[in-house]
Structure 1
Amino acid sequence: MSDESGYDYVIVGGGTAGCVLAARLTEDPDCRVCVVEGGPSDVGDERILALRNWINLLDSEFDYGYTTEEQPRGNSHILHSRARVLGGCSSHNTLISFLPFPEDLDEWALRGCTGWDAHTVLPYRQRLRNHIVPVAEQDRNPIAQDFVTAAAEALGVPVVEDFNRRPFADGAGFFSVAYDPATGHRSSASVAYLHPVLDRPNLTLKLETWAYRLLPDASGRLTRVQVRHADGSTATLRSERETLLCAGAIDTPRLLLLSGIGPADQLRALGIDVLADLPGVGENLLDHPESVIVWETDGPLPPNSAMDSDAGLFVRRDPALSRPDLMFHFYQVPFTVNTARLGYPTPDHGVCMTPNVPKARSVGRLWLRSADPGDKPALDFRYFTDPEGHDERTIVDGLRLAREVAATEPLRHWLRREVAPGPDVRTDRELSEYGRRAAHTVYHPAGTCRMGAEDDPTAVLDPQLRVRGQDGLRVVDASLFPTMPAINPMVTVLLAAERAADLLTGRDGPAPTGTERR
């Protein structure tokens, strides 16, 4: 193992947040930044850049593929995809891009996260470099358009032209997506933030390089990052200002635990020397669980689509709520990875709706199986275990509402039959059993290093994103979330990274626009 030249900042993880920080910090030509990314570059790789290829990236060479612990009330066979490529999950996902609801950010502030309220955070939308637009007209599949019309008619919700124009509390429409409609290419964090600045002499990318341990220097600061290259060789990188962990809600807590930061009893049981007893590391594992209902169509569908999952629906089951508590994606392909395992047929041509729980109340945890960095951590999301049964009821209601939409023209005439669970599954008990066993994830793990108030014993980070008790170590990724935003969280991560760049540089945030409550 050899020491390499030091940098002002070492960023562990070249994903959604890491790309933002690298671009922003290297705007200062005297600031030397090294990005450690476990996967390859996405530059010029059509497999990554072509948005419609996203589904082929799951369980591929670009995917870490984390398994799920036994789920007594859910699906134990879910493979949690985490991207192994520059740009992280923004190079791997559907790039559905929603601004967080103001209520979600204000909820963080109420939990002691000073400076993370909507008034402060939402103006950072002005700085986002991603090209985020509603799905272009030429990419609007006719059956998806008819889904939008039928959903509005069946459920009495408005058609939403732009889900990022607020206020909206419910509605059906085509989503906003970070892409270039002319080429079908992604506007991922790497494309938008890093590709234009790859020639900066103060930016170093360490690709196919995996960080597996943090080490303290003589003063006790965790300034040394041990890494392993693709050829098996190892090295130590040194940060002279701060080490920034941007490896995501699974690998950031994993790295902290391997480095001796986490629940002391668990670490000692694995033979790991304890540097800091932080019981919240790996706890508060959040997600957006969803189920699926599948229909066979009369024949092949028109080919045009942004990425085959680009329309959907938000509803409030409780009209007193100010934000949705149920959402669907409408897939223009039959998503049958879980229904086939349960014995249901896979149609040659079909569509599905995926009822989703925006504010799930079931909370899980992550832990190390051993002290070996090569062993993947254990993930127990504890799906559908909330005592009030909120998550289960949301799925049952969603399956029923999906059937109402499917029975409404102009969508109805496209559909030949319901394949899964089939029209004979009708009672709450039957729908719950099917819905939980066929449940999946939208690949939104979060919360495992959450920030919180000073007097919160389980908070891992303070509102400046500093790891408790560790000078010069911050976390910037979805693991910082105290609670889950109701929407796809990628834009929330981008906003958090833009704000983190200001916290690091001392730059003032953008001026409020007066639209933060929109």
Structure 2
Amino acid sequence: MSPTIQFTDATHGQTVTDPNAPTDPGTAKAQYPGVNGVNGHVPPQSEFDYLVVGGGTSGSVIAARLSEDPDISVAVIEGGPTDVGLERVLNLQNWINLLGSDLDYDYPTVEQPRGNSHIRHSRARVLGGCSSHNTLISFRPFAEDLDSWAQLGAKGWDSHTLQPYGSRLLLQTAPVHLKDRNTTAKAWVESCSKALGVPVIQDFNAAIAYNGGLPNGGVGFFPVSYDPHNMRRSSASVAYLHPIMDKRNNLKFFFETWAYGLVFDEKDPIKVIGVKVKSGQNGEEKVIKAKKEVIVCAGAFDSPKLLMLSGIGPKSELEQLGIKSVIDLPGVGENLQDHPESIIMWRARSSPKETVMTSDAGLFVRTDKSNPDPRPNLMFHIYQIPFTDNTERHGYEKPEHAVCMTPNIPRSRARGKVSLASSNPLDKPLLNFRYFMDSEDYDSKILVEGIKLARKIAKTAPFSSLIEDEIAPGPNVQTDEEIDEYARKVHHTVYHPSCTTKIGGDDDPMAVLDERCRVRGAKGLRVVDAGVFPTLSTVNPMVTILMVAERASDLIKEDLYE
């Protein structure tokens, strides 16, 4: 039997409103018409071979690949609307206006004693998931990132095995088009190279995947998945689902439908046979059944949340919340990782018009060349707009025009946790990233070094001629201690939560999944999203997630056909 889940008043100050309801539920069907699927109710066919919970970055790939066989029925359960015809999503240049919108789950963090407790973690509530929400910066992973997974027990996920899947991806990815490169970003690239002695990289993915990585660091324009002709996204949904949504009768979509529990077989209590969902204006509750498997692709927050609500997770914690333990897996929700970043901002004379998404170039630095690890340990984005969400709170000015550098930590040593606030599915999960709580203060030292290097770049022509006074932290903040205090209190996230349902070996008690993405101790259940990473990739993880989903789809098909 499935654990009983009660919908009661939400706790921790969180709303009891269904987080998946559209802004105007009464017009949901007209605004977001179903494509080979439905909005707001479960159709007569409520049993499929495979259920994909979450139509995001990984779920789009899984659904497309499994439905290639016309004899296999696949259903996608998506909490948000379709992105088909949704211009505010499809236009990449509008990405920043999606943050905090009705298409954002907008998760808070718990108190961070050494970090910024005001961070809101944006998670997309729309088909395509965060690939429909983010800037679509699209890096291939470093070989060392993947090989470290194998060393940590994720057999079969090494670089030799996984890297070729990058060539299979359907997204339209290339460095920012020449027509979209503005004067500010070009000057910054030149000044970074001059000031720090790093090479200018013409194609980051070619360097990372085929030419030995970035042992000397590098600066250049980002690889981005978009169509330069019309600035449209080449997201996971656009690339994998749009071409097939109205053509494959074996692929169905449940939009505006929220999965809140797994259903277990009464005769085999560890076998998952379906998903409990709520849909429509009235919160209609139904069960959609899976004849073969349920594949959870809800992301590093909501996948562990769904498992724990269903009784899969740390037994003692679940029982304290009144949830019956079905499978005791202490690693569910643990090992949470992210890319924290800070910010330094200058007043600018103008804001360039030529841009893809206002953050078109990046810098990688190896600050410790004595370390044998050839990967960079410091990364920068450059924003050609005032990025003041966290600085204004501390009294800093918001100038009309600004340039910001955001140093971030590619391999943070902080390890956090996702846990349940209660047994109520409407409560958002508790997110404790434990920012800057690593024992050796490695993370905060990286940000201090980043602020110092940013100032060095700012003094170097031609970039120096395009900026004026330093707004934040300002010239009075000079010592390491002062920079550290500033960098942590205004720090932000690059929105890369991961590693909360990690793949691991049989000897790892915290491993949630085996090497085929199957939930340990369960039958008919897999997880495929950023949560499966043992460690977070050095670079933006979207492409790595897509590669993982491509390989996972192969594993699922192998298990089906063989």
Pairwise mapping of residues 90-101 of structure 1 onto structure 2 (< 5 A)? Answer: 90-101=131-142
Q: 1:117 aligns with which of 158, 173, 193?
A: 158
Equivalent in the alignment of 2:28: none
1:284 corresponds, among 310, 318, 335, to 335
Per the alignment, in what secondary structure is the counterpart of residue 284 of structure 1?
A: strand
Mapped to 2, the partners of 1:317 and 1:227 lie a distance apart of: 49
The answer for unaligned runs of 5 or more in structure 1 is 509-518
Corresponding position of 1:133 = 174
**Aligned residues: percent identity?**
56
**CA-to-aligned-CA distance 1:41-77 (integer Å, 9 cap, x gap):** 1111110000010000000000000001101100000
| Pair 1:176 & 2:223 matched | yes
AA matched with 1:464: R
Amino acid at match of 1:316: R
State how far apart, in whole Å, the 2-side matches of 1:505 and 1:454 are.
23
TM-score, scaled to structure 2: 0.89
Which residue identity lines up with residue 94 of structure 1 in the other structure? T
CA offsets 1:458-499 (integer angstroms, 9 cap, x no match): 110011100000011000000001011100000000000000
**Pairing 1:33-432 to 2, within 5 Å after superposition:** 33-166=74-207, 167-169=212-214, 170-199=217-246, 200-218=248-266, 219-220=268-269, 221-231=271-281, 232-298=283-349, 300-319=350-369, 320=371, 321-432=373-484
Structure 2 spans left out of the alignment, 5+ residues: 1-40
Q: What's the counterpart of residue 480 of structure 1?
A: 532
Secondary structure at the residue paired with 1:493? helix
Query: Letter of the aligned partner of 2:532 in structure 1?
Result: L
Name the aligned partner's letter for residue 168 of structure 1.
G
Task: After superposing the two structures, state which structure 1 stretch, 318-327 or 400-409, moved more.
Answer: 318-327
Instruction: Choose the corresponding residue for 1:451, options 495, 499, 503.
Output: 503
Q: What whole-Å deviation, never above 9, does each CA across 1:413-449 have from its counterpart, x for those lacking one?
A: 1111100000110100000000000100000000110
Letter in 2 for 1:24: R
Cα distance in 1 between the residues matched to 2:462 and 2:345: 17
Letter in 2 for 1:451: I
Question: SS of the counterpart of 1:499?
Answer: helix
The residue identity in structure 2 corresponding to 1:19 is: S
Inter-partner Cα distance in structure 2 for 1:480 and 1:168: 24
Partner of 2:66: 25
May I ask how many residue pairs the two structures share in their alignment? 507
2:253 counterpart SS class = strand
What is the CA-CA distance between 1:506 and the residue it aligns to?
Answer: 1.4
In the TM superposition, 1:435-446 aligns within 5 A as 435-446=487-498
Higher alpha-carbon deviation: 1-10 or 377-386: 1-10
Is contact 2:49–2:292 with CA below 8 Å preserved after alignment? yes
Query: Structure 1 segments of 4 or more deviating over 4 A?
Result: 1-4
How far is 1:4 from its partner? 5.2
Counterpart code for 1:264? K
Per the alignment, in what secondary structure is the counterpart of residue 485 of structure 2? helix
- Classify the secondary structure of the residue corresponding to 1:196: coil
Distance, in Å, in 2 between the alignment partners of 1:337 and 1:279 is: 36
Q: Which amino acid aligns with 1:470?
A: A
Q: Which amino acid aligns with 1:340?
A: E
Superposed displacement of residue 172, structure 1: 0.6
| Higher mean C-alpha displacement, 80-89 vs 159-168 | 159-168
C-alpha separation in 1, matches of 2:45 and 2:475: 63
Question: 2-side partners of 1:144 and 1:414: how far apart?
Answer: 10
1:345-388 deviations in Å (ceiling 9; x for gaps): 00000110000000000110011111000011110000001001
Structure 1 residue identity aligned to 2:166: R
1:191-210: CA deviations, max 9, x gaps? Answer: 00000000210000000001
Counterpart Cα distance in 1 of 2:134 and 2:352: 22
Partner Cα separation in structure 2 for residue 168 and residue 146 of structure 1: 24
Give the Cα–Cα distance (whole angstroms) in 1 for the partners of residues 390 and 347 of structure 2: 16
Distance in 2 (alpha carbons) for counterparts of 1:506 and 1:259 = 27
Equivalence for 1:506: 558
> Does the CA-based 8 Å contact 1:4-1:238 persist in structure 2?
no
- What SS does structure 1 have at the residue aligned with 2:504? coil
Please name the residue that 2:37 is paired with.
none
Q: Which sits farther off after the overlay, 224-233 or 476-485?
A: 224-233
**Which residue number corresponds to residue 512 of structure 1?**
none
Q: Which is further off, 164-173 or 115-124?
A: 164-173
Where 2:389 maps in the other structure, the secondary structure is: coil
- Distance in 2 separating the partners of 1:419 and 1:168: 35
Between the aligned partners of 1:307 and 1:58, the Cα distance in structure 2 is 14
Describe the SS at the equivalent of 1:296. strand
